[in-house]
Amino acid sequence: MIASLEIMLERWRHHHGKEIDIFSEFKILTSEVISRTSFGSGYLEGQHVFDMLTRMTHIISENNYRVRVPGIGKFVKASYDIEFENLEAKIRESFKNMMKKREKDSILGELDGKISLDDLIDQCKNFYLAGQETSASALTWIVFLLSVHTDWQDKARKEVLELFGQQIPSQDRIAKLRIMGMLINESLRLYTPNAILMRRVERETRLGKITVPANTEVYISTLAVHQNPEIWGEDALLFKPDRFADGVVKATNSNIAAFLPFGLGPRNCAGMNFAITETKLALSMILQHYRFTLSPTYAHCPTEVLTMCPQHGVQVILQPYEPNLL
């Protein structure tokens, strides 16, 4: 993670005093982090795979809004279905090649017989898809909020500098970032990357006054729950990180299921701790080096393309942070 962050910050040196789209930057960062963590390779090595995965995610997302004639897919394939299948085959091949390169020191030998190579490839795809864009959009919205609420940006920087100075943040002390924890929670509440959770009801189930028949797909709007004034109060739509000062139980009025940015239950996010560490590390290193404000060219347009993301990016102006000038 640190290596990927250092590469990003090095790139930012060419943008001092200028505008930069942090959504594009964080997509590169989170791709690289997942890529390095999984395969020890840099983003560039996996770039081709990411391009293909990105295209695949867009096809999946567009499919949600496509009207299909039931059964016709068995006889005639649409161009996007053919493209999807081709991408899937190429991604599988790329993953196999990457794994082969690391066969000697990888876990493939240990897993022999316990999990098939195909299952392993599918798990890798899951991690790429589930872990890249979500983390990028989470980081983007936090930096967006801090570029508007610069008082909170200053508080967060103070906390980081008190804990780490200009040193690289250490894993064990990251948990001590209390204010940052509040900021992350408040941002995940207002701009939750996964605005909808899905479940399939296996057998007839009662949900309050509603009887849900078996095999029904239920869509849960995380966003609606996160912004419900009955739970969060009349200021539910406002950015108030203080509400998390005494933890999630207090913030939700003892209704912790009302805060579910990482889902809930046995199928909740497998990468939650990874994502929180990544976010805290990235924010700490950015705050150590930069002050940022929202660019006047920014147009606010959150939109849902698999994750809740800014349709036109988030443009901020970067100024190097120089403590002696304060």
Give residues in contact with ligand HEM (CB under 6 A).
126-127, 130-131, 134-135, 138, 193-194, 197, 261-265, 267-271, 274-275
Specify the residue, 253 or 268, whose C-beta has the smaller distance to ligand HEM. Answer: 268
| Gyration radius of the chain's alpha carbons | 21
Q: Which amino acid is at 117?
A: L
Residue 9 or 269: the one with the smaller Cβ distance to ligand HEM is: 269
Alpha carbons 313 and 25: distance in angstroms, whole number? 10
Give whichever of 24 and 37 is closer to ligand HEM, judged by the CB atom: 37
Asked if residues 25 and 313 have their Cβ atoms less than 8 Å apart, the reply is no
Q: 3-state DSSP helix/strand/coil percent for the chain, to nearest 5?
A: 55, 10, 30
The answer to whether 301 is a known ligand-binding residue is no
Please identify, using beta-carbon distances, which residue of 236 and 270 lies nearer to ligand HEM: 270
* Min CB(234)–ligand HEM separation in Å: 26
| Residue bearing tokens 């509440």 | 189
Please, which residue, 138 or 174, has the CB nearer to ligand HEM? 138
Q: End-to-end CA distance of the chain: give it in Å, rounded.
A: 30
* Residues in Cβ contact with 226 at an 8 Å cutoff, skipping those fewer than 6 apart: 189, 190, 192, 232, 258, 259, 260, 261
d(CA 256, CA 259): 6
308 forms bridges with which residues in the sheet?
304
Shortest distance, position 291 Cβ to ligand HEM, whole Å: 24
Burial class for 127, CB neighbours closer than 10 Å (0-12, 13-18, 19+): middle
**Least distance (Å) between residue 130 CB and ligand HEM:** 3
Considering the complex, state which of residue 309 and residue 317 has its C-beta at the smaller distance from ligand HEM.
309
Element (H, E) at 291: strand 290-294
Which residues sit in the known binding site for heme? Answer: 269
Which residues sit in the known binding site? Answer: 269
